[in-house]
Amino acid sequence: MSRPSDNRPTDAAVVEFLRSHHGAEPEELERLDGGFWSAAYGYRLGDEELVLRINDEPDGFRDDRRAMRYGSPNLPVPEVLAIGEGFGRWFAVSRRHRGRFLEIVGGDEVETAGATVVGLLAALRSVPPDDTVAPPWRTWLLDGITDRPDHHTRGWRSKIATARNVDRTFRAAERRIGSLIDACEDRNQLVHSDLLHQNVLVSPAADAVTAVFSWKCSTWGDSLYDLAWCTFWGRWHPNIGALDLWERVVPGLAPADALDVAVRHHVYELQIGAGHLGWYATIGDDDGLSWTARQLDELLEQGPWEAPDDPQGRFNSR
């Protein structure tokens, strides 16, 4: 699968489009790296810093605009100013937020960055429910490891089946998830489900989140999933793993959120890994496929993480 973000118009065509769209001359056009699904450009219009994104489909842009309602000082969501058709595709114009990607924080920033991510996870968890219709939580989890004919990754299961070791790992993860999924009850909490991967910006000092992007995968369910996302991908990004987010987040959970916490977290890490086997098979990334299968093998052997000291029994199963 080619990256849609590689299908860029010429810079001259972008300038002409922006000139027509705004009725003013754009300045300081800059190609931006990052997203897989869209080609992005930063530019200035008078005193405003803006971003143009171009994609084949509008749904992700609409999800980003819908997510503006979740914005707060601890959960800064860029304002989407316009969505429309252009370049024979779709475009969105948003306000630009500055910062650096969360996953490149340095090893000497662990304490500061750790507190920042804990605050981000708490901000996501505390967003009041809205009228968004989301699938039942267990259905959403199982859909993520199902080869769906209506999805852009359709066909991945047969590709995995040709790699015997990977197929064996996927089947083991699928069985473990199925055996434990009853612990994953419906919760009405905001789940971003794609933190990291250049979707979170932090300040130069790593002491604040400056933007959270890419809400196309968001849903309503168990906010512990976002913690599992960070701990799973902390295996890929060592400085994220060094944040010790499990030890930082779990002791502060409310009693209702602490119930079966280790089992739920285990299910979510396995689901994230198993789902990404399908993703790497789709894009033909054999290295990513092998790496993910190794992580799943380790998780299956290790089992759920050990809950923190729990004299009151808050983390026990029913």
> In CATH, what is the architecture of 4-95?
2-Layer Sandwich (3.30)
What number of other Cβ atoms are within 10 A of residue 57's Cβ?
Answer: 14
pLDDT at 171 over 60: yes
pLDDT, one tens digit per residue, over 11-45 is 999 999 999 999 999 999 999 986 677 899 999 99
pLDDT of residue 291: 98
- Give the mean model confidence (pLDDT) for residues 284-295: 97
**What is the token pair recorded at 67?**
């997510």
pLDDT band at 314 (very low <50, low <70, confident <90, very high): low
pLDDT at res. 131: 86
Q: Sorting pLDDT into bands at 50, 70 and 90, what band is 6?
A: low
Burial, 125: exposed, middle or buried (Cβ in 10 Å; 0-12, 13-18, 19+)?
buried
How confident is the model at residue 166, as a pLDDT?
97
How many CB atoms lie under 10 A from the CB of residue 247?
A: 11
Please report, for the chain, the start and end positions of each structural domain, with discontinuous segments joined by +. 4-95, 101-302
Q: In terms of CATH architecture, what is 101-302?
A: Alpha-Beta Complex (3.90)
Measured torsion, CA atoms of residues 9, 10, 12, 18, in degrees rounded to the nearest 10: 20
**pLDDT value of position 151:** 85
Distances (CA, A) of 226 to 91, 148, 189, 223: 28, 23, 11, 6
Residue 93: which pLDDT band, with cuts at 50, 70 and 90? very high
Sign of CA dihedral 174, 179, 185, 187: negative
In the chain, % of residues over pLDDT 70 = 94
Note the pTM of the prediction, 2 decimals. Answer: 0.94
Q: Which residue has the tokens 């499990």?
A: 246
Query: Which of 150-164, 171-185, 209-223 is predicted least confidently?
Result: 150-164
Q: Is 271 helix (H, G, I), strand (E, B) or coil?
A: helix
291-312 tens-digit pLDDT: 999 999 999 999 999 877 665 5
- Give me the pLDDT at residue 62, please: 97
Mean pLDDT of the chain: 93
Which residue bears the tokens 């999805």? 151
